[in-house]
Structure 1
């Protein structure tokens, strides 16, 4: 009996700390899909993103959305960016490369969302961004857990708007070969290999993506100086150019090996063209801008010295690369046409940048209904020096820009955190109280105590009412020290209060699971660069705040051969001032999403997903004048369809994106030119998977 108890404790803790134990996924395979389960087991689906430990979805602290493997297969989503479109309160704009955006009415470069792979942080070191390209193909992903709202107590910096935890398919019981072929010369291949023998496990996953991304609608769009650019470049651009190019290619590798309680593994991602149509030059050719991605290696061991104590110690090494090779343009005085320009290639490298990290976390279960989590997180980071290569009459000159903050290249961070949870039960009711705090010390920014507390009240086992308060921070990046004389900058901060009601119920033989939340979030300490005209130096001032109140709801349902979801969000952010006019910028106030899946017979299914965004407004350059103005971007609705056949050994699917071929746009929240981005026109792709 003792041995069985210890096995269960260890099993739970593996999920809580890193999702790295290979046999966990196999043992919990039946729990990975909300609707492949008997519905009475729905409330027992385990998530780990909210509390860094395994807990039932219904009683998890805060608002957590689960995108299951069943969802991914049914709707035919190709990659993570398509999956995130199903979350009711995600905002983004796709610039045909990486995916900037945010959560709950905040948007930008996705630096407020913490990105995890199997529970490990893969936020880039240079700009704190959750860098999402086509390097998260669906064939790589078993499940996605999205936590809404700040949680720096457990995760540290950059979890100001929420956390995305991508759980890979490492450790699944199947092996798979997956192929996707689509328009615009789009090709994707993926192989998954899993092996388990007693206490030894090995898993390997590799993917490759390549696409020309040269839809004719996209070519026409980048030539439109009213809808696309409104840039000072426009009069000098080569409007007759046929050289538009926006190729993207990337590949990923995931691998892990475990023996008993010891494990070792890594994740690697490489990508080409990370600027997309944001950086088309005077001849409409994008730069060969290579992030070259990252590589993350880790080694660790899990411990269970007693039934009350479990823990892990992990050492990891993260390396990041960034390279640019862009066509640089000089504009001679009096230039009036493209042929007057002087163009040459300029190369810029940053890196490699490195981080060595030590993380340990321990869980003490004092009683059956209470536990403690203690942890230490520390790292040393070295940002690579920025170096530019410039062709001159005397050959190639190498130099570092004078604004680069050389003294900020090396830094250290140390953090201690603790969280206590206790559940009080009487009759069928229960109240779970969770409270945690983190002390964070980091070079070049202020130290901080970061609390989070949550109350989860269950009047009966089918529903939960949750009240959550949390705080989070985002430390300044090395780019934010450019051209400043400040030795220290205070971190940007976020505070949130949230009320969540989650419930499962049955009506007319239809089974429902609902998540509803109202919240208010407040961000402070925005960075603004100001030039001192007397000294000719730049300083960074801490200015401004932004508040967002909102409501979000996701309803999943299932009856017989039908299943689906309905999601709604409404947000009310602070207005911004542009030339004396106040307006909410870059955020559609409401969104509506509808997904439906129908089983045609034993093997065939058809699914559709509808995504609707309301109109929104953005700041744009004036067309024939200096300064900026507020421009409206129309609302839009798109429909995607997926028809597929599933057998025990293979799956064949046909996916149509944007069925009605509606042109739709996302505003550019990061600048005034380009003012918006065209999303994908109608296109078809074929998917084939073989399990062995």
Structure 2
């Protein structure tokens, strides 16, 4: 795909209507299928790592993080598949594991900054829209796979068929990996650099052969279209022991879990007149969670791991469900458009149950702090957006976008959520964008645990940003650039505080956090080569720990550099470099009696991809194959832990090699 073609791709994530990348109302990054093939990315988490201002810290299970210097459990980033929300119901997280293989994806649209006006809750830091290959309007089939170290295997099958008014698409994948590199085994027995949890460290085994971290998951997407009506599914199932997030007696973090969801939707688009169109859709979302944690009956009296009386303590949260109805009407003229919409749902959270092994047998019980009165809730929202383009001269134009949403939800405050954007284009090749956005994140069922009052105020986010985007030609190079200055402030953080008098944990809502920064992404293309360079500089508020103040868990600077070269019509080579500056994080002192600030060192990695594609078999058939080397120079590097003090950091993958292939029919 040429750079000109790339610039002509329509995106819908910012304004929920089709618009060009250059005139989109906000900062939008677009990762295409060509990018995925050039750099060899295997799945969504590797793709997102190329975005300059995504903050990710992989702990070998699901992917925590955030955007623009806000880190946590990814609850502030709204995850969409083909424009439909798949945020989990229990913790409002964008739940990303190895369940988004790149072979499933046509492109990724990433919106930076809040947009609850169009998307509701959880779009407080930004929105990720995964556009699957099911949306391609041509017939094709493909089988692809890869094999790699640590018994890593992946297989994916895709089939799209269109005939007359009918269309049928299906995409399925299966992934399995032991994820037990020797470097991780050595790391989890290093108490100083790994856990610093003195209570567990004194008792847990330090035999690295006990470590296990196998993950298995599968996905299934399908869609049937007849004229303007459609029926579809997104299904994910996963099994994982939750990586190395928390040390436990046998290195298991507490989850031997099966997490997943099933999303089923039915809808129809309609055209009332040449100017009016819209859609209506109903959907059903279901998820389930269970886990085992290894516990000890005699932890207070044992002196070593061999003396522990261990047992499996089980916990389940019964199936949680959401019924949802959405409808939207859109009015379009040449320089004017309206959007009016309604979004409403009913959510039923499953009851938490623990199964504890006692001398009299296994006893099931629901913890007394579990807010069973909050398990069922309703949400209703109406929203509107007005867009008008003013032609100032032959080349110059000014486009204003104003949107507002009223959101009403049980057990939290109602919200008016505005968003305003002004895009000034002096010509067809550049744009200045000024955006204000307001967003919110409602409390989760876990955050209602220990709440003294009936309601909790939502977390909120306010943002101002200035964006300059441009495409141009310099010395036979074609270039496109996005540069943004932003200021974002979050309020009403949820904190768990222990009440020494009542001897219970309580949820408090207090505090605010602000991040200012700069981000930029430049893409270029020559005759047979191209690439991109991304940069971010973040300036978050500092945190005080025992008299020392520091910005925690946010690398001040990140640099991303990708280069790809086409050797001929079949062979290409791609390299991608990632650099993070040093990061500070909260940690226990070595004696476990206090807290301190720990520095996670800076690091730079380089990945190499060699691909042979479009190898002709016979008419309508071709195949591709290649090799990908992650962490080419075998750098030992770490991500900080933004969710707690133990472990203080997560070791990342050593150098490893994987082989990949695909067979394509059209």
Q: Shorter-normalised TM-score: what interval?
A: over 0.9
Q: Is 1:662 paired with 2:630?
A: no
Q: CA deviation at 1:273?
A: 1.1
State whether residues 273 and 287 of structure 1, in contact with CA within 8 Å, keep that contact through their aligned partners in structure 2: no
Aligned position for 1:197: 163
For 1:56-205, what aligned pairs fall within 5 Å after superposition?
A: 56-172=20-136, 173=138, 174-205=140-171
CA deviations on 1:660-687 (whole Å, 9 max, x unpaired) are 0000000000000000000110000000
SS at 2:303's partner residue? coil
Cα distance change, pair 218–625 in 1 and its aligned pair in 2 (3 A): closer
Residue 286 of structure 1: how far off its partner (Å): 5.3
Q: Distance in 1 between matches of 2:623 and 2:541?
A: 50
The 2-side partners of 1:274 and 1:119 are apart by 30
Alpha-carbon offset, residue 485 of structure 1: 1.9
CA offset digits 1:84-133 (Å, max 9, x no partner): 11100000111100000000011000000000000000000000000000
- Equivalent residue runs for 1:497-508 within 5 Å: 497-508=464-475
Instruction: Give per-residue Cα distances to partners, 1:190-234, cap 9 Å, x unaligned.
Output: 000111001100000000000000100010011110111101211
CA-to-partner distance for each residue in 1:117-163, whole Å, 9 max, x for gaps? 00000000000000000000011111000000000000000000000
Give CA-to-partner distance per residue, 1:234-276, whole Å, 9 cap, x none: 1212113522110000000000000001100010000111511
| SS of alignment partner, residue 257 of structure 2 | coil
- Displacement of 1:285: 4.2
- The residue number in structure 2 matching 1:686 is 659
Deviation at 1:45, TM superposition (A): 1.7
Q: Does 1:395 align with 2:395?
A: no
Q: How does 1:229-378 map to 2 (within 5 A)?
A: 229-231=195-197, 232-273=199-240, 275-285=242-252, 287=254, 289-365=256-332, 367-378=333-344
- 1:245, 1:286 within 8 Å by CA — same for their partners in 2? no
Partner residue of 2:448? 481
Counterpart of 1:558 in structure 2 is 525
- Structure 2 counterpart SS, 1:325: strand
Shift of 1:331: 3.5
1:443-470: CA deviations, max 9, x gaps?
0000010000000000011000000000
Q: 2: CA distance between counterparts of 1:532 and 1:618?
A: 26
Q: Determine the C-alpha separation between the residues in 2 that align with 1:287 and 1:148.
A: 33
C-alpha change, 1:517 and 1:333, in structure 2 (3 Å) is: closer
After TM superposition, give the deviation of residue 351 of structure 1 in Å: 1.9
Is 1:677 equivalent to 2:650 in the alignment? yes
What is the Cα deviation at residue 41 of structure 1?
Answer: 4.4
| Shift in alpha-carbon separation, 1:41–1:194, aligned structure 2, 3 A | closer
Q: Distance in 2 between the 1:530 and 1:100 partners?
A: 22
With over 3 angstroms needed to count, the CA separation of the structure-2 counterparts of 1:255 and 1:368, relative to structure 1, is: same
Q: Go from structure 1 to structure 2 and tell me whether the alpha carbon gap of 1:576 and 1:288 turns closer, same or farther (over 3 Å shift).
A: closer
Q: Structure 2 CA distance, aligned partners of 1:573 and 1:346?
A: 39
* Structure with higher helix content: 1
Residue deviations 1:548-602, cap 9 Å, x none?
A: 0000000000000111000000000000000011100000000001000001112
C-alpha change, 1:556 and 1:333, in structure 2 (3 Å) is: closer
Mapping of residues 439-478 of structure 1, within 5 Å: 439-478=406-445
Q: For residues 11-61 of structure 1, what are the alpha-carbon distances to aligned partners after superposition, in whole Å with 9 as ceiling and x for unaligned? A: xxxxxxxxxxxxxxxxxxxxxxxxx13x44443220011111110000000
What CA distance in whole angstroms lies between the structure 1 residues aligned with 2:373 and 2:299?
Answer: 36
Change (3 A) 1:294 1:658: same
| Residue number in structure 1 paired with 2:13 | 49
Partner of 1:408: 374
Q: How big is the shift at 1:281?
A: 2.4
Q: Which range is displaced more, 169-178 or 186-195?
A: 169-178
SS in 2 for 1:278: coil
Asked if the contact 2:241/2:252 (under 8 Å) is kept, the reply is no
CA distance in 2, matches of 1:46, 1:687: 30
> Shift of the alpha carbon at 1:537?
5.0
How far apart, in 1, do the equivalents of 2:206 and 2:434 lie? 56
CA RMSD of aligned residues (A): 1.2
How many angstroms apart in 1 are the aligned matches of 2:208 and 2:609? 37
| 3-state SS of 1:560 partner | coil
Q: Which residue of 2 aligns with 1:224?
A: 190
Partner secondary structure for residue 226 of structure 1 = coil
- For normalisation by structure 1, the TM-score amounts to 0.93
- How far 1:625 moved relative to its partner? 4.5
Cα deviation, residue 652, structure 1: 0.3
The whole-number CA distance in structure 2 between the counterparts of 1:95 and 1:538 is: 26
Deviates more, 1:639-648 or 1:589-598: 639-648
Cα distance in structure 1, aligned partners of 2:633 and 2:236: 34
Structure 2 distance, partners of 1:576, 1:395, is: 47
- Equivalent in the alignment of 2:619: none
Cα gap change, 1:338 to 1:379, in 2 (>3 Å): same
User: Do the aligned partners of 1:43 and 1:462 also contact (CA within 8 Å) in 2?
Assistant: no
Following TM superposition, by how much is the alpha carbon of 1:690 offset from its aligned partner in structure 2, in angstroms? 0.3
Q: Which runs of 5+ in 2 are unaligned?
A: 617-621
- Give me the TM-score of the superposition, normalised by structure 2: 0.97
Q: Which residue of the partner structure matches residue 22 of structure 1? A: none
Residues 575, 584 of structure 1: 8 Å contact kept: yes
The 3-state SS of whatever aligns with 1:227 is: coil
Check conservation: 2:247, 2:647, Cα contact below 8 A.
no
Q: Which stretches in structure 1 are left out of the alignment for 5+ residues?
A: 1-35
Question: Does the 8 A contact of 2:283 with 2:325 survive in 1?
Answer: yes
**Range that drifts further, 647-656 or 427-436:** 647-656
Question: Measured at CA, do residues 563 and 332 of structure 1 come closer, stay the same or move farther in structure 2, by a change above 3 Å?
Answer: closer
- Offset at residue 624 of structure 1 (A): 1.9
Matched, 1:579 2:543: no
Distance 1:58 1:591 in 2: 24
Aligned residue pairs total: 655
Aligned mate of 2:389, from 394, 398, 423: 423
